[in-house]
Amino acid sequence: MISVVDLSKYFGGIHAVENVSLNIEKGSITGLIGPNGAGKTTLFNVVAGVFKPTSGNVYLDGEDVTALEPHQLFKKGLLRTFQIAHEFSSLTVLENLMVVPGDQAGEQLRHTWFNFKQVCENEEQIREKAREVIDFLEVSHLENELARNLSGGQKKLLELGRTMMVDAKIVFLDEVGAGVNRTLLKTIGTSIQRLNEERGYTFCMIEHDMDFIARMCDPVIVMAEGKLLTQGTVEEVKNNEEVIEAYLGTGRKHKTGSEA
């Protein structure tokens, strides 16, 4: 579904991503792991169109999408979840789902002027869809809660819910488990698996929680120092000497903690 070919992204002298080639198979839940500073987030941002690569290409279903902007990729079903933006924190969960950009007739002014009835019907459909998403994620009790009152994990669920308002094909999740308690992480994990199995979503996720990765992901791709180290099942990569060395080696070179 996604092919990354010889991709590099430099920030001045920093080679954040260097000559990475990889494939993400349709229908997979692919894990992306590696020590801090490995280039994982940068790779996501290049694939999602946030950064243009220094060199290399990204293909979506065989189409070269390297030059596309995030909103164009979004329309093609390639989504990267984002934290709920500040201006949406005073909207409810339901409203946050309803404002996800789509082909909503109400967004086009001429429709508003000339076809008021259609806009109303359309808004009703969107509301219905948002309610479906809320049911799917089993957060009906939060429907009218303001986004700013949600816990970290509930916000992540809402971010996931936003991908369900459009026809997502592949969703990129960066550290979905960060700051999320165990119980809610399980709920998020179950939702991801159901979206994968029942709705055909492909996922690629960065995560530090290796238990979560082991439970969810096949295959797992490992990056270190901007490069792709290896790819395989969790068991394979866990026992790979280079991977072990990358984690230990980085532990010696850098102080812990600082996450870009």
Ligand X SMILES: Nc1ncnc2c1ncn2[C@@H]1O[C@H](COP(=O)(O)OP(=O)(O)O)[C@@H](O)[C@H]1O
- Interface with ligand X, residue 122, by CB under 6 A: no
- Interface with ligand X, residue 3, by CB under 6 A: no
Candidate list 7, 20, 30, 40; residue touching ligand X; CB under 6 A: 40
Q: How far is the CB of 193 from Mg ion (least distance, A)?
A: 23
Task: Report the site for Mg ion in 165-224 (rule: CB under 5 A).
Answer: none
DSSP label at 259?
-
Task: Report the site for ligand X in 5-24 (rule: CB under 6 A).
Answer: 11, 14, 16
Q: Tokens 């395989």 appear where?
A: 232
Gap between the Cα atoms of 131 and 143, Å rounded: 8
In this chain, which stretch among 34-42, 131-139, 191-199, 220-228 interacts with Mg ion, using CB under 5 A? 34-42
Q: How far is the CB of 119 from ligand X (least distance, A)?
A: 40
Which of Mg ion, ligand X, none does residue 219 bind to, with CB < 5 to 8 Å depending on kind? none
Q: How far is the CB of 237 from ligand X (least distance, A)?
A: 15
Q: Which two tokens stand for residue 8?
A: 């590099």
Q: Cis omega (within 30 of 0) on the bond before 101?
A: no
Q: Residue 80 phi/psi, 5° resolution?
A: -115, 130
Which of Mg ion, ligand X, none does residue 37 bind to, with CB < 5 to 8 Å depending on kind? ligand X
- Interface with ligand X, residue 38, by CB under 6 A: yes
| Per rule CB under 6 A, count of chain residues that contact ligand X | 13
Q: How far is the CB of 253 from ligand X (least distance, A)?
A: 12
- Interface with ligand X, residue 53, by CB under 6 A: no
Gap between the Cα atoms of 3 and 190, Å rounded: 27
Q: How far is the CB of 259 from ligand X (least distance, A)?
A: 6
Distance of CA 64 to the CA centre of its chain: 20
- Interface with ligand X, residue 4, by CB under 6 A: no
| Short-list 219, 224, 216, CA closest to 243 | 224
Candidate list 41, 45, 96, 191; residue touching Mg ion; CB under 5 A: 41
In terms of DSSP H, where are the helices of the chain?
Answer: 40-47, 70-75, 93-98, 109-114, 116-136, 152-163, 182-199, 210-216, 234-238, 241-253
Q: Which two tokens stand for residue 216?
A: 């969810």
- Interface with ligand X, residue 222, by CB under 6 A: no
Residues 6+ apart with CB under 8 A from 109: none
Closer by beta carbon to Mg ion, 41 or else 163: 41
Gap between the Cα atoms of 29 and 106, Å rounded: 35
Task: Determine the Cα angle at 127 with ends 107 and 198, to 5°.
Answer: 110
- Interface with ligand X, residue 41, by CB under 6 A: yes
Residues that bind ligand X (CB under 6 A): 11, 14, 16, 34, 36-42, 259-260
| Residues of this chain that bind Mg ion (CB under 5 A) | 41
